[in-house]
């Protein structure tokens, strides 16, 4: 879930520092030095968050923030304002113009990163009742619990994700490669046979409840979650 972060800052040194830290934290940094190029970048692809300097060569940062808030498509993009000013009125102005958070220079990289993460977390909340039920199984991501016919199952993280995927994608057959993409992530490189091992571990955990039959092998194709 590498979020794209647009960094709008005219001072090259600070721009570099920001980009470095942002990248370091696993986000993708898109750089812009003024409002004009920032607007161009935003039109090209909507970023997930914007780090916006207060003072910019062409237009004040607040002005950009206000414009983004007025536009339907960009209304919900979180904005963190950067400024050298500590004036309380400016802070109010920044937040009123639609910024989600506000940070004054000089700032510690760690503080900045923490704020970025906090804002992203706040803006991307999980959905409602996410408990999945099927065939006597009940799995809830929020409580991180699984129960089979009442008694609770003890699964490792990978088996948990695997079962969750299966329960939300029942009946259909998935190849080992597909399961690796979906459960492990596309960027991870592991042997396909590793899937077999985790399938086995999952079945083993489900065996006491007799529900291990739900995880079926489709020879030559992959695995399937089904009651038949």
Partner DNA sequence: GATCGCTGTCACACAACTGTCACAATACTT
Partner DNA sequence: AAGTATTGTGACAGTTGTGTGACAGCGATC
Asked if 38 and 32 touch (Cβ cutoff 8 Å), the reply is yes
CA-to-CA distance for 75 and 50, rounded, in angstroms?
A: 12
Residue 112 CB, nearest approach to DNA (Å):
14
Binding site for DNA (CB under 7 A): 154, 156-159, 184, 188-191, 193-194, 196-201, 203, 217-222
Please identify, using beta-carbon distances, which residue of 92 and 114 lies nearer to its own copies. Answer: 114
Asked if 51 and 82 touch (Cβ cutoff 8 Å), the reply is yes
Please identify, using beta-carbon distances, which residue of 86 and 126 lies nearer to its own copies. Answer: 126
Residue 145 CB, nearest approach to its own copies (Å):
8
CA-to-CA distance for 110 and 112, rounded, in angstroms?
A: 5
Nearest to 104 by CA among 118, 88, 123: 88
Residue 200 CB, nearest approach to its own copies (Å):
20
Binding site for its own copies (CB under 8 A): 39-40, 42-44, 67, 70-71, 108, 110-111, 114-115, 117-118, 121-122, 125-129, 142-144, 152, 156-157, 171-173, 177-178, 181, 186-187, 189, 218-221, 224, 226, 228
Query: What b/e readout covers 158-181, taking b as 16+ CB neighbours within 10 angstroms?
Result: bbbbbbbebbeeeeeebebebbbe
Q: Residue 40's binding partner, choosing from its own copies, DNA, none, with beta-carbon cut-off 5 to 8 A by kind?
A: its own copies
């Amino acid at each position: 879930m590498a979020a794209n972060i647009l960094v709008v800052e005219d001072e090259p040194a600070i721009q570099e520092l920001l980009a470095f830290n942002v990248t370091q934290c696993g986000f993708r940094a898109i750089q812009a030095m003024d409002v004009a190029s920032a607007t161009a970048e935003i039109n090209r692809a909507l970023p997930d968050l914007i780090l916006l300097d207060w003072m910019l060569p062409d237009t004040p940062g607040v002005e950009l923030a206000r414009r983004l808030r007025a536009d339907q498509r960009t209304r919900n993009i979180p904005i963190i304002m950067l400024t050298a000013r500590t004036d309380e009125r400016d802070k109010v102005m920044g937040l009123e113009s639609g910024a989600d958070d506000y940070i004054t220079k000089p700032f510690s990289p760690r503080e900045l990163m923490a704020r970025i993460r906090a804002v992203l977390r706040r803006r991307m909340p999980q959905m409602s009742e996410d408990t999945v039920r099927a065939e006597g199984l009940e799995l809830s991501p929020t409580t991180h619990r699984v129960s089979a016919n009442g008694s609770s199952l003890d699964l490792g993280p990978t088996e948990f994700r695997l079962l969750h995927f299966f329960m939300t994608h029942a009946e259909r057959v998935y190849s080992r490669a597909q399961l690796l993409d979906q459960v492990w992530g596309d960027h991870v490189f592991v042997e396909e046979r590793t899937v077999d091992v985790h399938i086995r571990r999952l079945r083993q955990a489900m065996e006491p409840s007799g529900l291990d039959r739900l995880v079926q092998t489709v020879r030559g194709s992959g695995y399937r979650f089904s009651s038949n």
